[in-house]
Structure 1
Amino acid sequence: MIRSLRVVDFRCFESLALTVPEGGGVFTGNNAQGKTSILEAVCLMVRLHSPRSHRMSTMARVAGTGGFGIAGEAWGMERRIRWARRTGMDFAVDGEERSSHGNYLSDGGLLVWMGNEDLELVRGSGEVRRRYLDFIGSQFEPGYRRALSRYRRAVKAKNLLLKDPRNRDAEIASYESVMLESARLLTETRAKLVALLTPAAAEFQGEIAGKPEQVDLEYRPAGGEDLALALEQARDRERRQRSCLVGPHRDELVMKLNGLAADDYASEGQQRTLALALKLAQGRVLAECRGQQPVWLIDDIFGELDVARRNAVLRVLPEQAQKWITTTHLDWLDAAGGLGRMAKFAVSEGTCREA
């Protein structure tokens, strides 16, 4: 579990130091006070990933200048990351510098992030669903993150070559070989994950909805069963459109509820329930396959739920897992008996104190 968190010049926090018990912590305060930034700092420290931004410069307290630091004790190790505009990111574990993202993540823990933006998993673009699978995949399969990085770099290079009016077929072929090598691990892992997620999501959908509902998840690789053949068949189209059109960067995760497309036919309540079920399924799959409970970062989702669904989510969250929860008030959590072993913190204008 995560025992402590310290940040310097991160988002609205000039400095922050807090200790959290095994059960976790509940962070209360009005909107735009810094609650979500605390959870984001945990996500960065553990997974080198922000669910809110891909640009490190936007996370520095003074936008566009300086940098930030995040550290803490997690799973019995002292972990530290720093980002500076001039030097980029560096990281260390127990005082020992780690040379790469992969080395830093190799002995880190697992996370599940739940937020109101999860509704986009059901009704947003395919990119949102690919990010969902990628975040799980990087925790599920040790080589996934490296394969994804290599694949993305190859696609970016290929797209630049496709925009060149000169014939660059030989160079395009060399990047496609990298794409093919990396894509194999990506598609195999994604297919395996979807097969594991489907029954868990169906179970949680019924638990939260209070009635059985059929959930079907289908992984559709954009290159089909033979990506090499798909690349060959798409070659003329890609030249015309000057863009790489097939491969894992175009994969789709299709969701159906009671036999119908969830984005088109499910009600907003059903869509929100399905988004919650997908995240709960993520936690179960990671716990069962990695033999370790993830930490749950739960960002202000309960205000959007009716009492029945709110209580259902609290009931199915793993009791033994550590949870970091943000909310504007504690009344509903006290009433549901959900505090348990969790500490309470008040967040206001970039400060956090134990309540």
Structure 2
Amino acid sequence: MDFRCFPTLGLEVPEGGAVFTGQNAQGKTSVLEAVCVLVRLHSPRSSRMQTLARIGGSGGFGIAGEAWGMERRIDWRPRQATRHSVEGESRASQGGYLEDGGLLVWMGNDDLDLVRAGGESRRRYLDFMGSQVAADYRRSLARYRRALKAKNLLLKEGDRRRAEIASYEAILIPAAAVLRRVRAELSERLADAVADRQREIAGREELAGIRYEAAGGMEMGLALEQVREKEFRQRRSLVGPHRDELELTLNGLPAAAYASEGQQRTLALALKLAQGGVLRAQTGQEPVWLIDDVFGELDVSRRNALMRALPASAQKWITTTHLDWLEEAPELTGLARFAVEGGHICR
């Protein structure tokens, strides 16, 4: 394995899911992260695969597991192509590996950044959804990021690289069209679900709103023409999906500026619960819920509301530093329990 702090690890988790308990920095979150990497080839904690390999290990890592009735495996090694296989058969591309994979929702304490932080966290929220529901989204996102990086490097050299910049914009425009189409559709589906979950968790009438705003407008080709000279002067890209925003409001006011901490935390929970509902509605498949140290940090009313809102039929992997709250959670008391300490796990 050699993943994070685990040289090896074998787990059998029941269909309903499991609770992993232990102090901080013992490996609880890494278990959930390994599931996320195996299923979606994505870590919610790092954008660089090399940071996932165990320090002092082989330099790479491997994860395998049975998910949705199929044996899945990935092997990552530095300076080598990642190997993906399903049922022992190699999949040549990430897209091929993901096409029959499952769905995930990740919840963690840093979800508060969805409300408080800048637009990057909300774009990642939409990207994680889009990559799961639209086959061409992940591919378009990768193409867009590569072309944008190249364009920005050329802009640093000034307008003498216009022809080369135009060639990269020819890649950016169709990729942006895919990203924005899916983002806009998801945002529309999320709007009612987020509003419903906000009222449900808050226990009172709080009107949550979301609105997707494409930086420069939905027609990127036109937007590029309008800002071209300004981009050359500032030597950076000014329009495109990398600057899009998902605006969050509460009772008509910007949530980041005017909502209380409790309201912001509720809105973050509502966004993740709505994400799970939209994934299920879009695909007909129930996501697995990876819930990292959330329940123990919530007050009683929000914790109880969250437990009621989670789909009873969904598999849930939960981490926590203590189990006191679990005794008050009949919806979750039937889950298997594992203790985690120093990279070792026992049931």
Short-chain TM bin: over 0.9
Within-5 A mapping of 1:65-144: 66-144=59-137
What's the offset of the Cα at 1:257? 0.2
For residues 166 and 200 of structure 1, the distance between their equivalents in structure 2, rounded to whole angstroms, comes to: 46
Match of 1:146 in 2: 139
- Partner letter of residue 103 of structure 1? G
Given the alignment, which residue of 35, 41, 54 partners 2:34?
Answer: 41
What's the offset of the Cα at 1:184? 0.8
Q: What SS does the aligned partner of 2:160 have?
A: coil
Given the alignment, which residue of 277, 281, 289 partners 1:284?
Answer: 277
For residues 207 and 332 of structure 2, the distance between their equivalents in structure 1, rounded to whole angstroms, comes to: 32
- Partner letter of residue 129 of structure 2? I
Given the alignment, which residue of 22, 31, 34 partners 1:29?
Answer: 22
- Partner letter of residue 98 of structure 2? L
Given the alignment, which residue of 284, 289, 298 partners 1:296?
Answer: 289
- Where do 5+ consecutive residues of structure 2 fail to align? none
Residue 327 (structure 1) aligned with residue 329 (structure 2):
no
What's the offset of the Cα at 1:90? 1.4
Q: What SS does the aligned partner of 1:315 have?
A: helix
CA contact (8 A) 1:57 1:65 kept: no
- Partner letter of residue 10 of structure 2? A
Deviation by residue 1:35-78 (Cα, 9 ceiling, x = unmatched): 00000000000000000011111111126961111110000000
What's the offset of the Cα at 1:330? 1.5
Deviation by residue 1:257-292 (Cα, 9 ceiling, x = unmatched): 001000000000000000000000000000011000
Given the alignment, which residue of 337, 340, 347 partners 1:344?
Answer: 337
For residues 114 and 251 of structure 1, the distance between their equivalents in structure 2, rounded to whole angstroms, comes to: 23
Query: Which moves more between the two structures, 186-195 or 54-63?
Result: 54-63
- Partner letter of residue 52 of structure 1? R
Given the alignment, which residue of 300, 310, 317 partners 2:303?
Answer: 310
Match of 2:214 in 1: 221
Over 3 Å counting, the alpha-carbon distance change for 1:166 and 1:243 in structure 2 is closer
What's the offset of the Cα at 1:88? 4.1
Q: How many residues align?
A: 347
For residues 45 and 249 of structure 1, the distance between their equivalents in structure 2, rounded to whole angstroms, comes to: 26
Match of 1:56 in 2: 49
Deviating beyond 6 angstroms after TM superposition, the runs of 4 or more aligned structure 1 residues are: none
TM-score (norm 2): 0.98
Q: What SS does the aligned partner of 1:30 have?
A: coil
For residues 318 and 58 of structure 2, the distance between their equivalents in structure 1, rounded to whole angstroms, comes to: 30
For residues 48 and 86 of structure 1, the distance between their equivalents in structure 2, rounded to whole angstroms, comes to: 17
What's the offset of the Cα at 1:342? 1.5
For residues 85 and 59 of structure 2, the distance between their equivalents in structure 1, rounded to whole angstroms, comes to: 20
Over 3 Å counting, the alpha-carbon distance change for 1:238 and 1:65 in structure 2 is farther
Over 3 Å counting, the alpha-carbon distance change for 1:65 and 1:245 in structure 2 is farther
For residues 166 and 233 of structure 1, the distance between their equivalents in structure 2, rounded to whole angstroms, comes to: 15
For residues 324 and 207 of structure 2, the distance between their equivalents in structure 1, rounded to whole angstroms, comes to: 34
For residues 205 and 159 of structure 2, the distance between their equivalents in structure 1, rounded to whole angstroms, comes to: 58
Within-5 A mapping of 1:260-271: 260-271=253-264
- Partner letter of residue 16 of structure 1? L
For residues 205 and 75 of structure 2, the distance between their equivalents in structure 1, rounded to whole angstroms, comes to: 47
For residues 30 and 280 of structure 2, the distance between their equivalents in structure 1, rounded to whole angstroms, comes to: 25
TM-score (norm 1): 0.96
Q: What SS does the aligned partner of 1:92 have?
A: strand
For residues 45 and 58 of structure 1, the distance between their equivalents in structure 2, rounded to whole angstroms, comes to: 15
Query: Which moves more between the two structures, 309-318 or 338-347?
Result: 338-347
Q: What SS does the aligned partner of 2:19 have?
A: strand
> Going by fraction, where is strand more abundant, 1 or 2?
1
For residues 43 and 226 of structure 1, the distance between their equivalents in structure 2, rounded to whole angstroms, comes to: 34
CA contact (8 A) 2:194 2:274 kept: yes
For residues 253 and 280 of structure 1, the distance between their equivalents in structure 2, rounded to whole angstroms, comes to: 17
What's the offset of the Cα at 1:308? 0.8
Q: What SS does the aligned partner of 2:79 have?
A: coil
Within-5 A mapping of 1:169-180: 169-180=162-173
CA contact (8 A) 1:57 1:63 kept: no
Match of 1:205 in 2: 198
Q: What SS does the aligned partner of 2:2 have?
A: strand
Residue 189 (structure 1) aligned with residue 189 (structure 2):
no
CA contact (8 A) 2:2 2:58 kept: no
For residues 107 and 63 of structure 1, the distance between their equivalents in structure 2, rounded to whole angstroms, comes to: 34
Identity of aligned residues (%): 65
CA contact (8 A) 1:21 1:341 kept: no
For residues 161 and 86 of structure 1, the distance between their equivalents in structure 2, rounded to whole angstroms, comes to: 26
